[in-house]
Structure 1
């Protein structure tokens, strides 16, 4: 499904139908200008709870609130016409049970216009996923490294190696059987991600997984080189905009201090004196 061929944004069923047919392209976005930039190229755009670290300087995603997700979701929605909008459910907004999850998911969708929500977890979230889907809330699942569980996982480690392999496979099948229309695989060994892609009827979206996944997603600020606090192994930087921006700011500061900016072309002259009316 090419960007040029699309006239309207795809829906979750369209993303599901892309499995095995066309690689699914996705990025995160948090602002209207960034959403506009990627709208022609992405099949879906995710407003990730990574916004807490990338834009708000939080040490993890755990401090992200519903209000933050809705605010950034509304901003991204204004920049999209062709790509589907998916929004992360933040930590604490769905873990209490299916009823809590539905209440918050319904609020996110109603206030942003998102087509779907994403939530983290495997077997233990299957009941919640099924509850949401049965009530009209499309769900993108997320397994492997789940950043909201970072305190119990013991760090940002690869998931699914050794004794963890079959447990993670059970997670994958559980979310698919529960009705998720796709599943994000984060920091999963390539061979296991390929196995999941082969066995699941829904698309797999890789981030630090395998090129064989049905799609890929990256945090846009990572791939553009805007976020430079750290660089995960799975990130390829397609630009170094952070360095370009810093150089531009340094040049601006130097010109202000030298009083060479603003120049004549940047300021406004006094109004020309009006001619006295002729008698």
Structure 2
């Protein structure tokens, strides 16, 4: 079967069908999520603090995202794969944004890119869209601006709400095909979703967005201190620790490998 495309998202918005997006950073998990029917896989720079051991997303490089994205594309068959433009790969100029995005499409095989910011990045969005590169926006608690925000905090309360609405409309006008809304009040996310003709994808933004996204390690219960907006459907961290512990004991006791796991 063919992969999902940005046109599918537009159709889901029009019909009112909610949809899911999940992060992925390697081919094995991409294959599992693809098999489960997740229509959109995001190779996020969230790999920084969920896969690469960094404190936040800022240290993640374009070369790292290309490598991770290539693996996710190879591990999936049906999902639309979108990759983040990491910090420092698009802000300086439209030319830099174009060069970075071309590398992600050519070297990794992704179908589009995601970048953070509103009005300030619309010139980059237009340049990418005019070059045939689908762009997903990202507003609210944009992790690449964590230092400016003073931490991971809810955005868009009080007077800041109008600014996020303005940014969302600007991204839509610039040609973005969807916008992630992160850590903003549910009421504001609902207003933005009803105002825009393009889909919104919420993460900590309430139930009224067109779609929802989570970091997969939060979903599976691997994150030691998950954010409030996530929901763990498994306690995989404990289950994996127990399984590995049993294997270690088998090795130490001399019961692994057995004859069944050995060769003549």
Query: Same fold by TM-score, threshold 0.5 exceeded?
Result: yes
Q: CA deviation at 1:39?
A: 1.1
Name the counterpart of 2:240: 245
Q: TM-score, normalised by structure 1?
A: 0.92
Name the counterpart of 1:3: none
SS in structure 2 opposite 1:216?
Answer: strand
Name the counterpart of 1:55: 51
Equivalences, count: 262
SS in structure 1 opposite 2:20?
Answer: strand
Name the counterpart of 2:9: 15
Distance 1:182 1:17 in 2: 12
SS in structure 1 opposite 2:164?
Answer: helix
Distance 2:185 2:62 in 1: 32
> Which stretches in structure 2 are left out of the alignment for 5+ residues?
none
- Post-superposition Cα deviations, 1:4-24, rounded to whole Å, max 9, x if no partner, equal xxx311222222222142112
SS in structure 2 opposite 1:110?
Answer: helix
SS in structure 2 opposite 1:143?
Answer: strand
- Post-superposition Cα deviations, 1:158-214, rounded to whole Å, max 9, x if no partner, equal 010012111111111111111000000000100000000000010000000021110
Distance 1:131 1:78 in 2: 28
Distance 1:154 1:176 in 2: 28
Alignment of 1:203 with 2:206, yes or no, is: no
Name the counterpart of 2:19: 24
Q: CA deviation at 1:249?
A: 1.0
Alignment of 1:123 with 2:151, yes or no, is: no
Q: CA deviation at 1:63?
A: 0.5
> Which stretches in structure 1 are left out of the alignment for 5+ residues?
1-6, 270-279
Aligned with 2:231 (options 232, 236, 253):
236
Name the counterpart of 1:272: none
- Post-superposition Cα deviations, 1:26-81, rounded to whole Å, max 9, x if no partner, equal 10111111111111411211101011111111011011001110101010001111
- Post-superposition Cα deviations, 1:130-177, rounded to whole Å, max 9, x if no partner, equal 111111111000000000010001110001001211111111111111
Alignment of 1:153 with 2:149, yes or no, is: yes
- Post-superposition Cα deviations, 1:67-102, rounded to whole Å, max 9, x if no partner, equal 110101010001111111100010000000111100
Distance 1:209 1:247 in 2: 34
1:20–1:214 CA contact under 8 A, matched in 2: no
Distance 2:123 2:7 in 1: 21
Name the counterpart of 1:254: 249
Question: Normalized per residue, which structure has more helix?
Answer: 2
Name the counterpart of 2:71: 75
Name the counterpart of 2:181: 185
SS in structure 2 opposite 1:72?
Answer: helix
Distance 1:147 1:237 in 2: 21
Distance 2:45 2:81 in 1: 14
Alignment of 1:33 with 2:42, yes or no, is: no
Moved over 6 A (4+): none
